[in-house]
Structure 1
Amino acid sequence: MTRAWILPVLLVLFGSAVATGLIFSGNAGAATALLLMFVLLAGMNSPLIFPRSIGALEAQRRSAVDGRPVIFWRPGCKYCLRLRLRLGRSAHQLHWVDIWRDPAGASAVRAANDGNETVPTVIVAGRPHTNPGPEWVREHLSPSP
């Protein structure tokens, strides 16, 4: 299991344990609601909510061709999640790189952020921007062909 899935799995396991305790104490409704909440929280912190990640080199190559920004992210990052959710459907037009799965992506982020793996880091026209707002990212999207 990669570390991207550790937090979501722990959330589901913890939610299941608490829900089991509630069921044994006779609170089936509360157990169901709590378990659903933990499953949703796990889903939001998993790689599933983000568009499919590609390698940093491939993302940079594609960005050079189509002019779309590259977003370096990692699962469990609340700022990455905020950016992803606020971008809505336009998030699929961007090139996403999971720095926990791609060492070249992690290296690119460290190079842009004084040795720190600060995400989200967005590369637009070869220039890095750390934790930009969703509106700013949306402004830098090229029209789709």
Structure 2
Amino acid sequence: MWSIVPYKSTFAKDFYELNIEWLETYFYVEDFDREVLLNPEKYIITPGGHIFFAVENDKVLGTVALMKASGNNFELTKMAVRIDARGKQIGQKLMQYCIDFAKKQNFDSLFLYSNTKLENAIHIYRKYGFIEIPVEPDSPYERSNIKMVLSFS
């Protein structure tokens, strides 16, 4: 059985590889992605963010990050699941874990950027209570055409 664990530097390579594989499969890797993925401690952990991993017998099956934004708001980002582990609801369990974690930490909101071509993902985000809001003109992701938020306050 697998469990969800917090970031360990020994999983940094998995964080990078899982996300690069996902981006290359569905989109392309932007410079911003590569910089964050190569330096997760600098861009996510040190500024107050979190990275979680679904792990089974020291093998990473999936990952997700909560990147600190303005105030007490966090971006739900960098979610990826190994190809051979997909279909086991690992992504949904990672998302629920992040939502529960955000509530316990008294976050104001979680938000995410996505693309409407990922219909299944958008459906899941809505199922968990995320609602669509306008994407700002200076969005950090060129591939993003939808932004969603889940407010706790």
User: What TM-score do the two structures reach when normalised by structure 2?
Assistant: 0.25
Please state which structure has a larger fraction of its residues in helix.
Answer: 1
Q: Which has the higher contact order (CA 8 A, sep 6+)?
A: 1
User: What TM-score do the two structures reach when normalised by structure 1?
Assistant: 0.26
Which of the two has higher C-alpha Rg?
1
Please state which structure has a larger fraction of its residues in strand.
Answer: 2
